[in-house]
Chains A and B, each alone.
Chain A
Amino acid sequence: MNAATNPLIGYLLVAALLFAIGLAGALTRRNAILVLIGIELMLNAANLNLIAFWRYGPHPEALTGMMFAIFSIAVAAAEAAVGLGLVISIHRHAHTTDLDAMNRMKG
């Protein structure tokens, strides 16, 4: 099976692109919530990678890739909840979610 017809390459490239877009969003936006959205995009790209390798890999009946992806989805949801709770708490204290304005440790 030569390289040009391996469908796995398409999925891996899409996952890499999504990861890069999420990283760009997390690094360039001011609002803290958009940074969290970028992080969720990166986690999704990693999950896509895992499921693609599970599907086209040698032993899909061992379910390793799918289990990894399911646990990753659960942990990402927990992390989003705690992160957004933190953002809400910071907003209550500093009355802004602008990351560039939060450049001191002492409120």
Chain B
Amino acid sequence: MSFVFYVLAALSVAGALAAVLLKNTVHCALAVTIAFAGIALLFLQLDAQFAGFAQILIYIGAVAILVVFAILLTRGSETPKGTVYSHFPLVGLLTAAAIFAVLGWAVLSSAPMLPNESAPPTVAVIDIGNALMGRYVLPLEIVALLLTAALIGAVIVAMHEKAGAQ
């Protein structure tokens, strides 16, 4: 496994660790953006160009900004007094460690049976377009409907109530 993979994996894991460990919420949001960037670069290393650029455009260009706006609108930008962890953090940590152990054991024990085609796939963007309009047109339309519903729903949920409540 190449040196680039190790660097990118270290970057993603470091960003994720910083995102869950830092005290200042905005720093956590910026650290998770670094993790998103690392994962996008891993996608690019896996020859998935379209997925990598879509990851950057959607996660870094929209979701990270959304998270940061939400932090600012909920006054989360000051460092909180007291602890930032909930009452029994050990339970959460043990659960996460157990899940990682199970997943790691599953991967390593099935290692001989994992596929390993090493020829990089020659996928052009036009194939993705054909697939989206051909085989996957129904999921595409359903996702369009879902995004419209999410847009309307998010606006309604976060909008101010009318003058009566103010």
Determine if A61 and B104 form an interchain contact, defined as CB atoms under 8 angstroms apart.
no
| Interface size band for A | 35 or more
Determine if A77 and B95 form an interchain contact, defined as CB atoms under 8 angstroms apart.
no
Question: In the complex, which of the residues B58, B97, B115, B155 contacts A8, with contact meaning CB atoms closer than 8 Å?
Answer: B115
A83 to B13 Cα, complex, angstroms: 24
Determine if A7 and B28 form an interchain contact, defined as CB atoms under 8 angstroms apart.
no
Query: Nearest CB to that of B22 among chain A residues?
Result: A34
Chain A: interface secondary structure?
helix
Give the contacts of B92-135 with A (CB-CB under 8 A): 92-93, 95-97, 99-100, 103-104, 107-108, 111-112, 114-118, 120-123, 127-128, 131-132
Cβ of B73 under 8 Å from chain A? yes
> A70 — which chain B residues lie within 8 A by C-beta?
50-51, 54, 128
Query: Nearest CB to that of A60 among chain B residues?
Result: B121
9 contacts between A and B (CB under 8 A): A8-B115, A12-B107, A14-B13, A18-B39, A21-B17, A23-B95, A24-B93, A28-B85, A87-B74
Give 19 A-B pairs besides A81-B154, A88-B74 with Cβ atoms closer than 8 angstroms. Answer: A16-B103, A17-B13, A17-B100, A18-B12, A20-B103, A25-B19, A31-B76, A44-B55, A47-B39, A47-B51, A54-B121, A66-B48, A70-B128, A74-B58, A74-B143, A75-B143, A78-B146, A81-B66, A85-B158
